[in-house]
Structure formats: structure tokens, C-alpha cells
Amino acid sequence: MNVQADIFGRLQAGGVKPSMQRIAVMEYLMTHCIHPTVDKIYSDLAPAMPTLSKTTVYNTLKLLSDRGIIRTISIDGKNLRYDADISRHAHFRCKRCGNVYDLQVEGLDKVKVNNAAHLLFTECQLYYNGFCEKCKNIRDSIN
Amino acid sequence: MNVQADIFGRLQAGGVKPSMQRIAVMEYLMTHCIHPTVDKIYSDLAPAMPTLSKTTVYNTLKLLSDRGIIRTISIDGKNLRYDADISRHAHFRCKRCGNVYDLQVEGLDKVKVNNAAHLLFTECQLYYNGFCEKCKNIRDSIN
DNA sequence: TCACAAAACTGTAATTATTATAATAATGAA
DNA sequence: TTCATTATTATAATAATTACAGTTTTGTGA
């Protein structure tokens, strides 16, 4: 259950060398399950790592995502979000506050795709939009 | 089955006044089921409507989408796509060529969301990524 | 029909997210 | 140590979207 050991294991399993920057991004994602954007990750890490470049955050996230170590979430058209939890779950986005929450789903594996014989699937994303508890009463057609 | 009449009906049902521009965008979407981007819609319509502004295309798509007349697809982080087909179906994106295809799905209504008592759902999107027939053999880790 | 207000459209500028590039720094093997 | 490879960094460029302000169109009441 050691987070550090888990990080090393996941990076290694994906064939990614564990540099300081990569470990920092990975640790951030594993301890901040808010599906952060690049900007959020960078601005939260930057104070403790003054030499960190935003390009490195981009590069690292792309690398981790390509290797299947983390998950990319494109729930809004605006910017990408990232998630260290690659287990099967869905995401919910509040159209008012913009926050993204995890949803536990059942039966997703029973969904049948009919016209896909000639396609090769690699990932699946299930997104819900709506209003969260705080916002559902206030909502005045923002977004 | 008259497309024109259908457009008027759908716009009216959503409380959207049928201007030339809105009809043109709506008609384009209904006759080009390729989930086009704003740029594609604009550049295809522009020759026949030289005064059309891309801002109008943006405004129109946002309006139609807000009123539930069309669907916004955020399957890639890069740009938004639009779909006049608002019936329940999923989308597939080829990671090599970038094309987006419709998928007919069964059993999506049987998916249960567990921790959502306090949330108000408005839309649901199911995306698959992978490689299409043409690209699945060629694929050399693009994207 | 005219006057006027509201709505729709347009073009440009600004913003924001992301990618490309090139230079520097770190790593690791011979 | 030397050298090649890889990783990181800063800056510039690109691309998508939004903001804004001016113009045109539409519709309504006198």
C-alpha cells in the first residue's frame, strides 16, 4: 500500500523511467483524484519544484497516457484532464461548476456494440453531464 | 421525410428562430453524418454562403446544442464535433486517421450508476477509441 | 409605411490550450 | 572520462474558441 512503491511499479510496468518529474506528476495524480487539468497539475507542483516546466508536465502526461499508465479524460471540449485510476468507472461533469466526479457503474461490460466487427477497440469512456448537488438548485443555464 | 420540414420542426421545437444561417448549419449536419468540426462545417458552407462568419457557426452550434437540438461530441481533446442525430448511440474514434464513426449500442440503459443519488443527469456520452479497419494494420503508434 | 427596439450576424481581436522546436542538462554505457 | 542518448526546459508557434463592438436584419407598434 506504499504509494511510492506503487508509483515505481506502475512506471516500470509501462516501461517509463522514474525521473523526479515523472514521479511528481504520478504522485500528484494518485493523491489528487479531482481529474486535474495540465494547468492545475503544473501550478500545484510548481511551488515545490521551481524548475519544473509546463512542457514537461505535458510530455509526461502524454507519455503516461500512451503507455496506459494513466487515463485521459476529454469530457469537456475545453481541456484534457487526467486520472491515475485506470479501473473501469465513469465520469460526471457538472455543467455549472465544471467539477468532474467519479461514478461507479455496473453493467458496462454488458453493453453490446453492433456494427464494430471491423474495428479494434483500445479504450472506452463513459461520460455523464448534468448538475451536482450544490449546483442543481442554483443552475441558471451556465454552459 | 422532407428534410426542410424536419429542420423547421426541430428548430421550432427548441424555440430557435429559423434564420438562413441556422437552417444551413442544421441542414449540413443532417446531411453530413461525419461528426464535423466547426472548421469543417464553416469551410464547406462558406463557398455557397460567402457572407457567412465562422463566429456565426460557433454561435449557432452552441445555441442548437444548448437547446438539445443537436449533440456535442468531445471525443478528442482537440476540438468539438457536432451531430444532428440525438438518438442513443455511441461514437468511435480512430486514433490514427481521427475519423469518428457511429456505433449502435444495446444495453446502455441497463448500465447502473451507483453513487449518483445527489446528481442530476442531463446527457450521457459513450466513446470508444481504437483503430478503424483501414488503420488497424498500418498503425504505428500515432497518437 | 415609418420608427425603433430587439435579435442575429459579422469581422476582428483576445484568450487559452496545446504542440513544435531548439537548446541545455542529466543519465548511462563504453 | 567521453560520448551518445534521453529528459527537461524555455520560448515560439499553432489552433480552437470566446469576447467584443459594430452592422444588418427582423419584427412590432404607431
Q: Which of residues 79-108 of B touch A (CB under 8 A)?
A: 79-80, 90, 92, 95, 101-108
Write out the three cell numbers for B143.
497518437
CA quadruple A140, A143, B4, B6: dihedral sign: negative
**Nucleotide C26, nearest residue via CA and C1':** A19
Residue A1: predicted pLDDT? 61
Q: Tens digits of per-residue pLDDT, A98-128? A: 999 999 999 999 999 999 999 999 999 999 9
Q: What is the pTM of this model?
A: 0.92
Residue A138: predicted pLDDT? 76
Write out the three cell numbers for B32.
453530413
Domains and CATH numbers, chain B: 3-83 (1.10.10.10), 90-138 (3.30.1490)
Beta bridge partners of B106: A112
Residue A19: CB less than 7 A from any atom in strand D: yes
Which portions of chain B are predicted below pLDDT 70? 1, 139-143
Q: Checking DSSP bridges between strand B105-106 and strand A112-113, what pairing results, if any?
A: antiparallel
Burial level of A48, CB count in 10 A (0-12/13-18/19+)?
Answer: exposed
Burial level of B143, CB count in 10 A (0-12/13-18/19+)?
Answer: middle
Tell me the C-alpha distance between B9 and A143, whole Å: 24
Residue B136: predicted pLDDT? 85
Distance B51 CA to C8 C1' (A): 14
Q: Tens digits of per-residue pLDDT, B40-81? A: 999 999 999 999 999 999 999 999 999 999 999 999 989 999
Using an 8 Å Cβ cutoff, are A128 and A97 in contact? Answer: no
